[in-house]
Chain A
Amino acid sequence: DAKTTQPPSMDCAEGRAANLPCNHSTISGNEYVYWYRQIHSQGPQYIIHGLKNNETNEMASLIITEDRKSSTLILPHATLRDTAVYYCTHAGGTSYGKLTFGQGTILTVHP
């Protein structure tokens, strides 16, 4: 199972960038880093994933360190609707949905 370490909570001002760190030192060579978030007990929402290169999509950017043992999720302009629990995990190949979620980071975006 994936073992990740994330800060339990973070705050961010609306309109500012939110940088959420994650340590995943047990990641294997063929495993991708995945980020999901969950709002008010809704279903987890996929944000972004990557193998070793930095990735960007319409929601966020993902920065993965060269040794792949940690990553940072960047929400470039946080809004109040980005308040959620953010989960970082890793999974390999076609087992991409066998996700192990830890406690995640509770991100609170303030006006």
Chain B
Amino acid sequence: EVQLVESGGGLVQPGGSLKLSCGASGFTFSNYYMAWVRQAPKKGLEWVATINTSGRRTFYPDSVKGRFTISRENAESSLFLQMNSLKSEDTATYYCATRGQPGDYFDYWGQGVMVTVSS
């Protein structure tokens, strides 16, 4: 059974940094592109980042490009999201997800982790 478990969320001040982690199990992690998707409170879904299997290629929307960095450690079946220069509009539940094979949809999702950016 595919399991994705996010951690590392919490309260951070505007301009601060936070690093999210996602532990994966139940599938061959190194064979899958991975992604982060977020959802602001009572709002819709927003794609945040995608990383290829080796970790050498990453993709971001303009809203987080230059501030967020997605990375992975295949040996540990772990995915990360380093978030810098955080803004209030980054407040959201962040979900770790597997990218589809072969399409760019989001197949399996974690339970999510809350990030609150506030002074």
To the question of whether A and B form a pair in one complex, the answer is no
The chain A residues found within 8 Å of chain B, CB to CB, are: none
